[in-house]
Structures are given as structure tokens and as C-alpha cells.
Structure 1
Amino acid sequence: MSSNEVAGNPYDETGLDRIKALVEKTTGGKIVRLEQQARWRPAWFADVEMDGTILPLHLRGNRVGDVAIFPDLKREADIIDVLHRGGVPVPRIHGYCADPPCIIMDSLPGTRDVHAATTSDDQRREIGRALMNGLAVMHQLPLDSFAAIGIEIPDTPEEIALVGLRAYMPLYQRTKSKPEPLLEFVIRWLERNYPGHRTRASFVQFDCGQFLVEDGRMTGFYDFEFGLVSDPHVDLATLAMRDSVEPMGRPLPELFRYYEEATGEPVDHDIVQYYIALFSTLGTMQFAGTVGKPAPGDPHAVYLSWDMSLRKCILLALSKLLHAPFPDHDAVPITPSAGKSGTAIAALDDTIRQVRGAAPIDTHTLEQALELAEWIERDDRCGDELRARDHADISAYLKVDFADIDDAVLALERHVQQAPAEEELALFTLLARLERRRQAVFEPVKLGIHSRNVIPIETR
């Protein structure tokens, strides 16, 4: 079975044939090259020959699995079209395939690696200005054009701040597969502490910082899957978060000054921290269900890595907002034991390494399998002690001797859901200690690299 023949996958060979046929019908050309992008969602690069010239296209499929906040991919195509007509540097939309869902659009040239595509700080400064100028143009577009394609336009400060949370909540509640005391705590804190003085709404990318660079210049923005209308500072927050894993090329304070120059408005840095806490919470909510109970076909390694790094972002942002110290790891670190399944894990690792994939996407999947095997080996050697310490800490806090860790975590979630605001600092201290302990155990493995790279975000 090839990578396109996973059971239940709409992007099998038959589905891909329908996409290719629509591409050729829409453009009037002929596909002369088609290459699947080696990543966690179905996407392809296509070269279409038209009257002797080549039109490079990107074919963007929908997420596979039950993690989509806005399942209708046509929504993203419509958003990109509005942005393109509004002068924002984004791909041109050529068409849309409904079955299977696929956006047919220009393929922007370049790389996301700013340093690889530049030779000087002057070039990186110009890219930074282009990035923030483009963001300012996006934030100043009239909202009626987005309302016309069905995008919700929030009105009150509460709606503007929490529109993202309201959008993510149905998926979280429907797919949640285990107790989530940290998420339940942060959701309630965000609802109690939204910025009531922020009254201007803009269209925001909502997962900002995604752009391509070639030959020392920015070629355009990409990925508007989560785009909606909210506080424009949401984009500053998500751009700042992405900087830790995909550097923007210039220091954040400099970029924020460029944004102030482009908009003529000062950046409220405390509000940026609020939205860092909000967005990292929403990202964790989005994948909580499949991380707790893996769904067939999902990119399990990717979601596990994102889950840990986003939880670290939550802790860092809340420690600033609550004026609470960011907790260190345990004074006495967990020492890996011999484990119970070392022989079986070693055999699994060796078996995976014997598989030879024929295409880049297969190699990508094999790499993720090896990363998961390494994670399992780490849990085998450290997991019992990790859970024992968590069990003891929760039992001590709630003053109940729970039978096992599962009962303890469930009781902690129920306590969080009814705890008064006066208890938030004590609860945050406990929840942060539990999460930091998990990070100490799993950050050393390959899937922990993003979490290791997450550091406090300074925007001024």
C-alpha cells in the first residue's frame, strides 16, 4: 500500500486523478511534473505547461483526521482570494476541487529559512519590513469583504478577544479523550481576563509568521487555514511564538517597531502576552483528543511534539501574566531505569530501520516512526517514576490519597473547573510543576526539540 492508499484516505490515486483533471481543465495546460510535498498533510507541487511556458502551482489538500477547526477547505481558498484582491502578498487562486478538497493556487517561490535565502543583515531588515508592512495591509482591509464570504465579525471586546476560543471549543469538547487540568485551568483564566479595552477587530492570519523568502526578498504569505477576525495583536503573538522554531530573521523588538511604523499605532506588549497564552492553549486544545487517543492516519509524532512545545508556551506566557516564577525542573531529576520493554523496543527500532521507502513522503513517515520508538523507550525507562511523582503531588495538593494517577488527574481537573479565582496562583504552581516534570523527561528525545527551543518571548 503506497502513501496515497491509506484506508479511508480521500487523496488516493483516484482522488488525485480528479484533482489533476481539474487542474488541467482550469488552466488549459498539461501537468508535466507532480511531486508530493513531504509533510504531514496532503499537498503537491505541480508544473503545468501552457503554450510553451511553465506555470508552477501548489495543490493544497485538507487535513486528514478529526483536528480541523474549520473543516471546509473552500473557506481558506475564499480567504486567500480576498487577500489577493486586497493587495496582500499571497498566492493567486486558480480553482478549487471539492472532491477531494484541494486548493489550486500559485506556488510561491522560496524557502521559509530566512538565513538560507539572505546574505546580509540589510536584506533581513528589508524582509522584516516587508513582513510587517504586509501584515499591516492585511489588518487594515475592510471587514465587509470577509463577511461576504461567511467569516464571523465579532463586535464586543469579549467577542473580539475570545472568537478563537469559541471557534476551537466545539472540537475540543467533542474529541477530548482524557482529563486536561492544565487546559481547563487556562481556558477559565483567559475567559476571566480578556482585554476589555481592545475594541478594534481586523482580519488576522491567526497562525502568523508563515512566509517565504527567495534571493533576499519576501515572496509572500502562506497558510490561512485558521484565519478569522479578531484583535490584530493575535498575529503579533503567533508570529512571536513561531520565531522560536522558524526564526523571522530579525529580533522581535525590531519587527514590532516596523509594525508600529506601518500602522501608526503602538504595540501593547502585555496584550501580546495574553494572546500568546490564548493561541498556545488553542493549539493544544486542537490536538488534545488525538494525542490522548491516537486516531488512525494522523501524523502522531508531529502532534505529540507540538503538544509538548505548546504547553511550554502556555507556562511561559502565564508565568509573565500571573507574575509567577517559571518553575525549574525537579531538584532531584528522574534517573532512567532499565525499563520493562527494552528488548521489544530495540527490536521495533531495528525493524523500522530495515524498511526502505521509495518516495520522500515514505522516508518522512519512517523518520516519525523512529522518533515515536525513541519516545516509547524514554517512557519505558522514566514513565513509572514520572507518574508516581505526579500522583504524590496531586494527592498532597488535594489532600486525598488517590488509588492511582488516573484518578488523581481526573480529580484535579474537576477541582480546577470549580476552583475560585483566588486559588489560581497556587493551582498554576502545581500544574506548571507537573508539566515541567514531563518536559524534563521527554525534551532530550528528538520529538522534544521544539519544546527545547521554546524560550521566554521578549517583544521589547
Structure 2
Amino acid sequence: MTTNEREANELSPDLVNWIGETANGTVISTDRRPGGGRREAWVVEVRDADGTVRPLFLRYDRLDPEEKGDDFTLHREAAFFRALSGTAVPVPEVVGVHPTEQAILSELVPGQAWFSRLRNEDERVSVASDFMRILAEMHRVDPHRLGLPDQDPDADLRVLVHREIDTWEKIYRDAGTRDPLIDLGLDWVRRNVPDVGGPVVIVQGDTGPGNFLYEHGRVTAVLDLELGHLGDPHDDLAWVSVRAVQEPFTDLMERFGEYARASGTDLDVERIRYYRVLAELRIVILGHRNRVEPDLLGEVGNGLVYGLLHRRLLLEALADVVGEEVPEVDPVPATPSERDWLYDAALEQIRQIIVPRSEDPFVIQRSKGLARILKYLREASSVAGAVEQRNLDDLESVLAHRPSSVAAGTAELVGRCLAGTVPVGTAVHVLLRQVAGETQALRPAMGVLADRRFDPLPRAVETGATDDR
């Protein structure tokens, strides 16, 4: 059964019964919370036999793993939580894992997830520093504790990185449609795997601000191990760099220095650069699959915003490693439409009527997502034609002929790049100009994210050669 075939704001009676049986009590309330990424987040209250009410947390995915198209199941994620349980890494205690459905029931840990809501700078630094210490502790945990058959702690690191790329390429290929940007990214990460054999550690994946809880200046729990795997500790540091774009994470290089001291290792900034490309590539692959098979009841508005943000960041990460400057692109002139007032009316009703009169945080979040969709549609209708012509001009200047469409021209450009007849930097430059046009259309919905960039990473004295193909 797909997401569209079930009520997304309810849990099935069978699942509620399982929660009660697993927690040895009676479920008295279930409350879906905003967020949770690809998975649903629920706070459930269970009354014990003595009348004590215990709050628990349910992480739930309605999609069957085969339907979803990847191996990142909640059952797999539970293995990472259990591997870290009892170590110096604070994780929620797993109460139970559903035997057939994708559901993890855990203790509800106190704390807030939104790092951006912290306003006191001393507290921001305290939390961020504590997280980097905990990340170093995670990388000290014996990877043999994981015990997953597809994760070999005794393998050479280079082998594990190639397997990780294989995993993500399969997710991409299984979607059934091509994306020239992903083709370009996959080719580059395969050609440039760092020539380092170890160490092999438990990598959280997608780690950093937003994926841990904090309270009173300290981290209370590490969350979201969905993309966990065995690999290079620099992979996690790259993820911190990526997530810091969405939620600025104090002085990033100071935090990396704290990690180095806590872990007792020297950091290789060029490896962080490599894994930053790989991290962004994973995000774009997930977004690609969601576009091929959209969830109409999902966070579509957020998907538009973050999908474009990470396409741009993937290109900027590639530009950084191949030495290409990010171009400054002037906005195209907008052509107002006589239907603009209808978008404005819908937006004002969401802002002044629907959101203020809603008490459910989930409804408020989705209402804001609808507003983002409307803002994009309004702006796109006024600039799409001019952006298309500029993109065709750019492609013609490189291909020496005018393509029939932007999509066809972009596919040809990247095809030539993969064949070695066009430099990666040239393709990245053209694609960055395309993303600038998309950003103009989505800017009213993106807000500050439209101008967010990576924190700069210093250049090593000797970086070593990378393949610019």
C-alpha cells in the first residue's frame, strides 16, 4: 500500500496495538510531528499498568522497502542505534523494532533539534563543540559492533567507498530516467576516490545540525542514522559542512579543529572536499527519485526548495574540486501575468487565514509548503521563457549548434564531458548558469537559502592531482 492510499495523519490499529504490546502498556495518544525527513515522526504516550504515562518516539515509514527503491530501511537503521547503544555516543534507547513494518519505537529524549533556533552564541558554540566531540567518539566505536552483512569492517577503505558509490548508482539507475548532473557527479567521484586504505569507522551519514538533539548547551542524542555505513571519517565531516549550509554551525574550521583534537587525528581537507561532492550527489540522487515517483502527500514545497539548493551545492562542490569559478549570473527580466493576482490571493489566504487559525504544527508546516509551491509557480511563469533562451544560448556557445531543447543540449554537453572532449569545468560552468535561472524562479520560496554557500575550506599546501574529467 502506498502513501497515497493511506491516511498520512493516522496510525493503523495494528501498529497502535504493537506499540502498546511492545511498551507493555496502553496507547493513550499519538501525535504526528513535523519533520522526520523521508520518515514520519510521531510522539506516542503509553500508560503503564501502574498508571504512569510514558512518552515514546515512533519513527515510521509507510512504504514497503521494495516499493521505496533503496536498502535504507528502518530495520537497518536500528542496527546502527544498537551498535552505538552503551557507548560514549548518546542515542535513543530502542524499545522495539516492528517485525514486518518499517517502524522503530524508542525512548523520547529531551531536547530540541533546530540548531538555528539557538540565539545565544556561547550556547551555540557549546552545543556545536559537544557534537564534534561526540562525532569523534562515534568514529572510535568498534565497527565490528554493527554486524550488518553488507558492511565489512575489515575491507580496504577504497573498496568500501566504491561499494558506497555502487549503492547510490543503483538507486539512481533503478529510477529509470537519466539526469545529466548525476551522470557527471558519478563519473567524477568514481575517478577520484581518495587513495587511502583506512581507517574504517561507523559513519553516521547526513550528520550535523538538525540531526541531533540538544539541551542546556549539550547534545542529548544523535538522531537519524538512515544513511549510516562503514567508511571514512572525513565523509561525516563533509556532511557537517553540507548541513551547515542549511543551519549555520558556528565557525566550521574551529569545529573541525576540535574534532581533530578529540579524535587525535590530522584532517585531510582535500578528502573533505571529495566527500562533500559525494554527500551532495547522494542528496541529489534521492531528490531525482522523488521527482520520478512524487509523493503527492509529501513535503512537496520543501522538496522544491531543498532539491534546487542541493543541485546548486553539488555543482559548487564540483567547481571547487576542479578549480572552476562560480559565475555571477544576472537575473533575466520578468514578464508579469494577468493571473498573478490569483497566486497573491492564495498566498494571502494561507498567510492570514489558514496558518493563524491552525493549531496543528503539522498542518501549519504543510500550509507553508503549499505557499512555497505557489510562490514558485508565480515567479516561474514570469521568467521561464527568458531563462530558457539564455540556457539555449549557453549550450550553443559550447556545442557549436543550437540544441532542440535545453534538456537535449544538456544531455549532449555532459555526454561529451564524459567522453573527454569537454572539460568538467566547462560543463559545470554551463550547469551553474542553468541553476541560477532556476534559483531566480524559486527565490521567493527559498528565502535566505537562495544565497547560502558552503563555509570556505582552506587549501592544502600540496593537494595532489585530481582527474578533471
**TM bucket normalised to smaller:** 0.7 to 0.9
**Does the CA-based 8 Å contact 1:245-1:454 persist in structure 2?**
no
Q: Could you tell me how far 1:292 is from its partner in structure 2?
A: 5.6
Map 1:47-196 onto structure 2 (within 5 A): 47-50=45-48, 51-62=50-61, 69-114=70-115, 116=117, 119=120, 121=122, 123-148=123-148, 150-153=150-153, 155-177=155-177, 179-196=178-195
Match of 1:29 among 13, 17, 25: 25
Q: Could you tell me how far 1:284 is from its partner in structure 2?
A: 0.4
Identity %: 21
**Does the CA-based 8 Å contact 1:154-1:230 persist in structure 2?**
no
**Does the CA-based 8 Å contact 1:312-1:451 persist in structure 2?**
no
Q: Deviations over 1:71-101 (max 9, x none)?
A: 4211111211111133421000000124542
Map 1:206-355 onto structure 2 (within 5 A): 206-209=205-208, 210-248=211-249, 250-291=250-291, 294-330=294-330, 333-339=331-337, 341-342=339-340, 345-346=343-344, 349=347
Task: Give the SS at the match of 1:219.
Answer: strand
**Distance (Å, rounded) in 2 between the aligned partners of 1:89 and 1:57:** 16
**Distance (Å, rounded) in 2 between the aligned partners of 1:186 and 1:120:** 37
Task: Give the SS at the match of 2:276.
Answer: helix
**Distance (Å, rounded) in 2 between the aligned partners of 1:310 and 1:120:** 27
The AA in structure 2 aligned to 1:95 is G
Task: Give the SS at the match of 1:244.
Answer: helix
1:415 aligns with 2:412: no
**Does the CA-based 8 Å contact 2:391-2:406 persist in structure 1?**
yes
**Does the CA-based 8 Å contact 2:9-2:32 persist in structure 1?**
no
**Distance (Å, rounded) in 1 between the aligned partners of 2:103 and 2:413:** 43
**Distance (Å, rounded) in 2 between the aligned partners of 1:253 and 1:217:** 20
- Tell me the TM-score normalized by structure 1: 0.88
Map 1:356-395 onto structure 2 (within 5 A): 359-395=360-396
**Distance (Å, rounded) in 1 between the aligned partners of 2:414 and 2:293:** 18
1:8 aligns with 2:9: no
Q: Could you tell me how far 1:52 is from its partner in structure 2?
A: 4.5
Task: Give the SS at the match of 1:363.
Answer: helix
Task: Give the SS at the match of 1:444.
Answer: helix
**Distance (Å, rounded) in 2 between the aligned partners of 1:423 and 1:119:** 46
Q: Could you tell me how far 1:392 is from its partner in structure 2?
A: 1.7
The AA in structure 2 aligned to 1:452 is D
**Distance (Å, rounded) in 1 between the aligned partners of 2:44 and 2:452:** 34
**Does the CA-based 8 Å contact 2:383-2:441 persist in structure 1?**
no
Q: Could you tell me how far 1:239 is from its partner in structure 2?
A: 0.8
Q: Could you tell me how far 1:201 is from its partner in structure 2?
A: 1.4
**Does the CA-based 8 Å contact 1:154-1:163 persist in structure 2?**
no
**205-214 or 36-45, which moves further after superposition?**
36-45
**CA RMSD of the aligned region, Å?**
2.9
**Does the CA-based 8 Å contact 1:64-1:297 persist in structure 2?**
no
**Does the CA-based 8 Å contact 1:391-1:405 persist in structure 2?**
yes
- Tell me the TM-score normalized by structure 2: 0.86
**Distance (Å, rounded) in 1 between the aligned partners of 2:138 and 2:364:** 38
Q: Could you tell me how far 1:126 is from its partner in structure 2?
A: 3.8
Q: Structure 1: give runs of 5+ residues left out of the alignment.
A: none
Alignment match, 1:403: 404
Task: Give the SS at the match of 2:104.
Answer: strand
Q: Structure 2: give runs of 5+ residues left out of the alignment.
A: 460-469
Q: 1:299 to 1:21 in 2, by over 3 A?
A: same
**Distance (Å, rounded) in 1 between the aligned partners of 2:108 and 2:74:** 17
**Distance (Å, rounded) in 2 between the aligned partners of 1:424 and 1:109:** 47
